[in-house]
A = this chain, B = another copy of it.
C-alpha cells in the first residue's frame, strides 16, 4: 500500500513538471509569435492551451483521490495540497501565454507592438523565460537555490512593466489607441506570468521548509 502511495505521489510530481514544460513551450512560442507577427505559431499556442487545461484537471482529480483514499499527513499532505495550488498557477501561466498569442493573431500581419518598444518586451519575455525554466528546475529538484533567481527576475519584470507605462505616457509615444491598448495588455500579461511563477516558487518553498519564506 505504502509503495503504491509513493508511486502516486511521484506521478503527481512528474505531471506537474510535464505541465510546467508545456507552459515553457507556450511562452516561448507565444512570445516568438508576438515579436515576429507569426500567426501560425500564435494559432498553435492558442489551440495547445487546451492540453494544459486537461492535464491540470487530471492532476487535480488525482490529488483529490489521493487525499480521499490515502489520507496523507505531514509532508505528504503538504505535497498534495501544494500540487492543487501550484497546478492552478501553472494553468494560469498557460492562459497568459495564450493571451499574448491572441494579441499577435489579432494584429497580424502587423507586429503587435511598434519596434520602438520591442526591446522592453524582449527583456520582459527573457525574464519570464528564466522564471519558468527555474520553476521547472525547482519542481524537479526541490533545490531552493533557484528561488532567488525567480525573485530577481520578477523584480526586473516589475521595473520593465513600469517602463512600458512610462513610454506609453511620454510625448514621444504617437501610436494609435489600439496599439496602446495592446501594449498595455501584453505588458500586464507578461507581468502576471512572472507573479504566478513567484507563487509556485513560494509553494515549493513551503513544501520543502514548511514556511512561506519568500514574499508574493
Contacts and interface: CB of A to CB of B under 8 A. Distances in A.
Contacts of A71: 71, 73
A21 interface: no
Given A71-B71, A77-B67, A81-B64, A178 B184 contact: no
A74 B81 contact: no
Contacts of A4: none
Contacts of A88: 85, 88
A177 interface: yes
Interface residues of A, number: 25
A68 B74 contact: yes
Nearest to A199: B88
B173 A169 contact: no
B81 A67 contact: yes
A180 interface: yes
A165 interface: yes
A64 B71 CA distance: 12
Contacts of A169: 176-178, 181
A177 B173 contact: yes
A68 B76 CA distance: 10
B185 A178 contact: no
A32 interface: no
Contact of A85 (B84, B168, B173, B181): B84
A146 B176 CA distance: 42
Interface string A101-144: 00000000000000000000000000000000000000000000
A188 interface: yes
Interface in A71-91: 71, 73-74, 77-78, 81, 84-85, 88
A71 B71 CA distance: 5
Contact of A81 (B84, B165, B173, B184): B84
